[in-house]
Amino acid sequence: CKGGDVGTVVRVNLENEAGIVEYGGSYKAETFRKHAIQQVDVPVVDKFGGVPGPRDVAKVISRCNLNKTDGHDRRAIMVHCKGGFGRSVVFACCIVIWEQDVPG
């Protein structure tokens, strides 16, 4: 993130989730903020499909500042969870759908 053009990191796992605690826990949000990278926490429980609710999606879209300003593209958005197979992919798809105004 530091060397790239990432502007927002979205964390959708819980800080005390099994598989993270055993390795010392999740990172602190300040880790990214000191590099001018916004960090957004939207914890989604990874059970029963781990699908985020509409409010969670709205929070991510709002915080990612998806609108382009002054004719410039915004910085990249990185979305992650613990495994990277479900929750983060759903959020990433929602961001792309919003950004590209995909009908449906």
Domains detected in the chain: 6-100 (3.90.190.10)
pTM of the model as a whole: 0.80
| Average model confidence (pLDDT) across the chain | 82
Confidence bin at 70 (pLDDT 50/70/90): low
Give the residue, 73 or 53, on which the prediction is more confident.
53
Q: What pLDDT does residue 86 have?
A: 84
Which residue, among 79, 72, 96, has the nearest Cα to 6 in the 3D structure?
A: 79
Tokens representing 81?
A: 């969870």
Task: Please measure the distance between the N-terminal and C-terminal CA atoms of the chain and give it in whole angstroms.
Answer: 33
Confidence bin at 69 (pLDDT 50/70/90): low
Confidence bin at 4 (pLDDT 50/70/90): low
Q: Is the pLDDT of residue 34 over 80?
A: yes
